[in-house]
Chains A and B, each alone.
Chain A
Amino acid sequence: MNAIEAVNLGKRYYRRGGLGAASLFGALTGRSGPKREPFWCLRGVNFEIPVGRTVGVIGPNGSGKSSLLGLTAGTIHPTEGHVRVQGRISSLLELGAGFHPELSGRENVFLNAALLGIPREDVKKKFDRIVDFAELREFIDMPVKHYSSGMYVRLGFSIAVEVDPDVLLVDEVLAVGDLSFQFKCLDRIRDFQKRGKTLLFVSHSLETVEEFCHEALLIHHGQLVARGEPAEVIRKFIRFFMGERGGLHQTEYGTRAAEFGDVRLLNAAGNPCETFETGGALTVEIPYVAHRRIEKPVFGFSLKTANGLYVFGTNTQIQKHDIPFIDGAGTVRLALDPLRLMHGNYFLSLSMHSWDHVEQFHRREDWWPFAVQNPTGALGMLQLDSRWSQQA
């Protein structure tokens, strides 16, 4: 059975002109200002999510992710097609959206639950759990306008999850409150999954999607471009929208006295590849062209995770691998063997500069994405050399 079913879902907005005229004058004179310019923020989207699955929606900013969630929640209505949801739905589109600042936390709990369609009797039974989860016992009778932003979202999250929905929609709000509350939130989400509830969630945190979701949907320009295994879809996302197409933090600069050619990532067998294994080999083949003779050039590389965490970086100078000079075309090879990175998505950056760091010839930051799969079962970020011994 499907919890969520979207058929030919489409939502049209107008870039200019709006749905109606912006003023009564415009309406009366038949002039609606500038010519209406429609654009589809979502179109022709079809998918179904079986009960009990957790599905993550990823895509660049403005691709239509939040609209998809809004349509599913029913806060906005499709221009064409439809989306059907089975069971009670609760959404974390914006925590505490229904709160009224003048009312106390207690009153807001009942108001918010009523908005979600929860009978008052049920709320009374769950009230203590809601308050305890939000850790707001002593502040519950204070008007929420005096709440800190953390208290505000904690209460909002607590209500949304404690009302026990069948389908939970989450929009980028798992990172609420302080660290300990974030852990509680993620724990509650896992609990949801265990109890066979359906989750649809939008996130820019690719790690979170990979960790929590059974399946990922990739949305771009309002179209569903890929769906499937989260790791697979995330890689596609990184390759298409962060890699070659001018992505989010990709940068390139330098005097171009020497330039990188078509850099390839090769596996142990010497074949171009995008997915590597922990403990295996990764060779980077770096063709270059030097437009003039350059003495003692330095080649460097660095690795970052998809979240931008700097994992490792070094260069030929640090490693005392002297290259006397470059002139014309040539190839440099960088071997990472064994590859000590663990499961996840990474970015490779390369640079070429003068020995005294005065001139940067060519630098490509976060240019080459690749993925690592870890068959060993060990956890964490890096594979460390570790040995055990025991004495009786």
Chain B
Amino acid sequence: MPGKDIHPSEFVSRYLIKDNIRSDGVVRHGAFLPSSSNLELSVFRIFNLSNEEIWALAVEKVEPARGKVIGRGDIRVSGIIENSLRVAPDEDPESRHAGIVGWPDDRNHRATLAKVLAALASPAKMREFSTEQTHPS
């Protein structure tokens, strides 16, 4: 279980739905553009999780609101910090949820930072769906 403190070497994941991923596997910048209402971008800490556990986290935490998760963009926390942003973990580390915060007030600047994060998080890791998941009996 990750501690409350985020280490720069740690990876966080932004789960992706359809239209978030280009045909060349590059994550679209829109996936990293925060809501203008609270300027916080949701990510999940995947420290010490297996691939299956990472996707299970998506099913539990993300799919109820966003629909089917088809991939994820993993980004090292150091890359986020280098762009003058911060990763703020939830109070409860068991949730593994964190927010990328510290976005500039200027929308144009935010849009450019979203493009940088999308580039750092590429190529997207695609989720493999088992036969049972795609054709439930």
A and B pair up: no
